[in-house]
Chain A
Amino acid sequence: QKEVEQDPGPLSVPEGAIVSLNCTYSNSAFQYFMWYRQYSRKGPELLMYTYSSGNKEDGRFTAQVDKSSKYISLFIRDSQPSDSATYLCAMRRTGANNLFFGTGTRLTVIP
């Protein structure tokens, strides 16, 4: 079993839709949770960074962490064609330096 599971999609939505992206994990030691956006043939770009459980909002993006369920989510409101990319969840244990990534979900927002 992988430490981080993520539905690879692909996911297609119309412009303006609310998008929900999710990851589950098995290691309860993960304390730091990130979402990265990766455009085709580019490096991952950090979108959201959260510590432990709770919500964090930044513009159209909201990250949620539910440690009791080992489940994290990223919501994108009013999705735009420019949001079309692969979204990677990543997480890290306290005191460790390496990130564990999901496989990524490919999102397409249709104009």
Chain B
Amino acid sequence: DAGVTQSPTHLIKTRGQQVTLRCSPKSGHDTVSWYQQALGQGPQFIFQYYEEEERQRGNFPDRFSGHQFPNYSSELNVNALLLGDSALYLCASSFDRGSRETQYFGPGTRLLVL
């Protein structure tokens, strides 16, 4: 049973460019959350998708947007990249069962903005 997968593993972009990161959830999971982890910090919540809708959003600007597809996979898009967007972007999947939800993380995509 494959766990959470993410692509690409690494990415280098320049300031002002746009990037799309992809995530496939663990089999049986229907909910996808995205987190940003800066070097030496804990992950910070960006947003969560359920039933193809953004269900909750963290304190991130509108430059960060996402999408969930009918097969539950998800994309994270970041526009107008800034140097400060350099981080490990983590996708976490879960099965929505209310309060008992447990999130499982993928290996992440490491983004470097030059």
Question: Of B63-71, B74-82, B101-109, which binds chain A?
Answer: B101-109
> Can you identify 17 A-B contacts, CB atoms within 8 angstroms?
A4-B42, A8-B40, A36-B105, A41-B110, A42-B107, A43-B4, A46-B105, A96-B56, A97-B33, A97-B101, A98-B33, A98-B56, A99-B103, A100-B45, A101-B43, A103-B41, A104-B42
Known: A36-B105, A43-B105. A97 touches B43 (CB 8 A): no
A8 to B105, CA, bound (A): 21
Interface residues of chain B, those whose CB is within 8 Å of chain A, are 4, 6, 31, 33, 35, 40-45, 48, 55-56, 58, 90, 92, 99, 101-108, 110
Please tell me which one of the listed residues B40, B58, B105 contacts residue A45 in the complex, with CB atoms under 8 A apart: B105
Produce 1/0 per residue, A29-50, CB < 8 A to B: 0011010100001111110010
**Does chain B have a CB within 8 A of A94?**
yes
The residue in A4, A90, A98 that gathers the most chain B C-beta atoms within 10 A of its C-beta is A98
Produce 1/0 per residue, A86-109, CB < 8 A to B: 001010001111111111100000
A99 to B43, CA, bound (A): 9
- Chain A residues contacting B40 (CB-CB under 8 Å) are 8, 103-104
B109 smallest CB distance to A (angstroms): 10
**Does chain B have a CB within 8 A of A62?**
no
What total count of A-B pairs have CB within 8 Å? 60
A36 to B102, CA, bound (A): 12
**Does chain B have a CB within 8 A of A6?**
yes
A90 to B45, CA, bound (A): 11
